[in-house]
Amino acid sequence: MKVLATPLSLFLLLCFAIGSEALPAISARQENDVGITVPQLIVEIGTDTFVDNTVTAELTIQNPSDVEITIDHITASAGLDGVIYASIDQSFSSFVIPAASSASSGAIPNIPLVQGLSASLSIVGLNLDIINANVTLRSGTTSGSGGVADTISNYAQAGVTTEWTFIS
């Protein structure tokens, strides 16, 4: 049997032992105790981007923990050198990340370019930073069901590998 090392893992073990319904949800915190990271962003610039200043993006989230995680909602801003170029506010119906694995969010359309397309062209081809993200998730889910509610607040990550694609 593998020994669970993180406080969250020990908490989840306790939840499974006595039943998660008996325990309150974990309150929001500033640090990322869950350990998730974003190894890749894919940003699609389409012909509509020139009209509506929005892009479509897909993010990959890495889950290093020993339990499945389900992402319910993400509010985030991304940019470069502290300047925000895009922001999202997205709920998910089925964004499940298996234990010790990674998963893609799928396409997230209509992400506004808050600086506009003209100002945003200077960052195309560069890796972006997640300047601030708030994530509502459930740890210890089974195929996306159940789990213990958790919130990660003020998450930031520099230099996320970013793939830029142009869609006609």
Structural domain containing residue 60: 25-167
| Residue 144: count of CB within 10 angstroms of its CB | 18
| Total domains in the fold of the chain | 1
CATH number at residue 86: 2.60.40.1470
Q: Reply yes or no on whether the pLDDT at 29 is more than 70.
A: no
Q: What is the pLDDT of residues 31-54, one digit of tens each?
A: 467 799 999 999 999 999 999 999
- Tell me, yes or no, whether 1 lies in a domain: no
Is the residue at 6 inside a domain? no
The stretch 16-22 carries a mean pLDDT of: 40
16 assigned to some structural domain: no
User: Mapped to the 3 state alphabet, what secondary structure does the chain carry?
Assistant: CCCCCCHHHHHHHHHHHHCHHHCCCCCCECCCCCCCEEEEEEEEEECCHHHHCEEEEEEEEEECCCCCEEEEEEEEEEEECCEEEEEEEEEEEEEEECCCEEEECCCEEEEEECCHHHHHHHHCCCCEEEEEEEEEEEECCECCECCEEEEEEEEEEEEEEEEEEEEC
- The C-alpha atoms of residue 87 and residue 27 are separated, in whole angstroms, by 24
Q: Which residues pair with 87 in a beta bridge?
A: 77
Determine contact, residues 34/153, Cβ cutoff 8 Å: no
Q: Is 90 exceeded by the pLDDT of residue 152?
A: yes
Quote the pTM value.
0.80
Residue 9 lies in a domain: no
Note whether residue 14 is domain-resident.
no
**Residue 32: predicted pLDDT:** 65
Render pLDDT for 72-128 as a digit per residue (tens, 0 to 9).
999 999 999 999 999 999 999 999 999 999 999 999 999 999 999 999 999 999 999
